[in-house]
């Protein structure tokens, strides 16, 4: 079986790689992981779900699935570095090997990214590099594009600019609102995020420049 320089190779035989999922809201992408794991499409475990928002809907999803959940409000920390360090400690204590941001509305700095090199993924509701940042669906409609979609990418300290793992397009319809487009994109998000995590965990890949190349480690 192939694996990647994520530490998966160091997982004991018979056990699965562990994810940490960071959320701020409703958690439908978290639910997508839970479903994919249940269906055997994603060979991983979720060690912990961390929310920076105490009433995030995704916390109930974690509880319902029997996954440990933590509320870690960023405001409890004096600086971004201090918050990043607290997150890193919580994830490391639980043996997390791949961190998946799923609607986590917080920028991660060099302390976090440095602690998990090439091991933090995010899902974004546009075809990056178009429309980074918040309100991506509104940006797409306002710009008049006919096609948008979803992107899974590695997280770097530059917002929504890390190497792209996977993308899938959806049409933008003439009568779309940000809400109708978001719903169409979300369906695709749930498909490609779990698929991308499975590939990153279990296929050989490497990064060259900004490109994620599957099929070999170098």
Question: Where along the sequence are the contacts to ligand GRF (CB under 6 A)?
Answer: 23, 25-29, 58, 102-103, 123-125, 186, 189
CB of 204 vs ligand GRF, minimal distance in Å: 27
CB of 149 vs ligand GRF, minimal distance in Å: 11
Determine the Cα–Cα distance for residues 189 and 180; give it in Å rounded to an integer: 14
Which residue lies nearer to ligand GRF by CB, 118 or 148?
148
CB of 50 vs ligand GRF, minimal distance in Å: 13
Buried b (16+ CB within 10 A) or exposed e, 16-48: bbbbbbbbbbbbbbbbbbbebbeeeebebebbb
Which residue lies nearer to ligand GRF by CB, 8 or 194?
194
CB of 76 vs ligand GRF, minimal distance in Å: 22
Which residue lies nearer to ligand GRF by CB, 4 or 33?
33
Which residue lies nearer to ligand GRF by CB, 26 or 206?
26
DSSP strand pairing (98-101 vs 18-23): parallel
Which residue lies nearer to ligand GRF by CB, 39 or 78?
39
Question: 211-218 contacts: CB < 8 A, separation 24 or more?
Answer: 211/163, 211/164, 212/154, 212/163, 212/164, 212/165, 217/4, 217/5
Residue nearest to ligand GRF (CB): 103
Q: State yes or no: is 124 an active-site residue.
A: yes
Angle among Cα 127, 177, 150 to the nearest 5 degrees reads 20
Q: Tell me how far the alpha carbon of residue 67 is from its chain's centroid.
A: 17
**Residue 130 structure tokens:** 């178009």
Residue 193: Cβ-neighbour burial (10 angstroms; 0-12, 13-18, 19+): buried
Q: Which of 124, 153, 190, 206 is catalytic?
A: 124
CB of 145 vs ligand GRF, minimal distance in Å: 17
Q: Tell me which residues are annotated as active site.
A: 124
């Amino acid at each position: 079986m192939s694996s990647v320089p994520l530490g998966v190779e160091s997982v004991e035989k018979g056990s699965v790689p562990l994810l940490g999922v960071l959320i701020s809201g409703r958690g439908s992408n978290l639910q997508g992981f839970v479903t994919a794991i249940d269906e055997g499409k994603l060979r991983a475990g979720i060690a912990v779900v961390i929310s920076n928002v105490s009433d995030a809907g995704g916390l109930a999803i974690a509880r319902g699935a029997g996954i440990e959940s933590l509320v870690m409000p960023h405001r409890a920390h004096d600086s971004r570095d201090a918050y990043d360090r607290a997150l890193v400690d919580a994830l490391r204590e639980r043996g997390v090997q791949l961190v998946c941001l799923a609607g986590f509305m917080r920028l991660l700095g060099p302390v976090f990214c440095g602690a998990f090199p090439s091991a933090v993924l995010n899902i974004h509701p546009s075809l990056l590099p178009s429309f980074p940042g918040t309100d991506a669906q509104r940006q797409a409609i306002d710009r008049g594009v006919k096609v948008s979609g979803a992107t899974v990418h590695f997280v770097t300290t530059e917002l929504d600019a890390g190497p792209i793992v996977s993308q899938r397009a959806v049409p933008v319809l003439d009568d779309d609102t940000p809400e109708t487009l978001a719903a169409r994109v979300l369906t695709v998000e749930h498909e490609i995020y779990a698929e991308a995590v499975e590939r990153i965990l279990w296929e050989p890949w490497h990064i060259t420049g900004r490109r994620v190349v599957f099929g070999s480690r170098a």
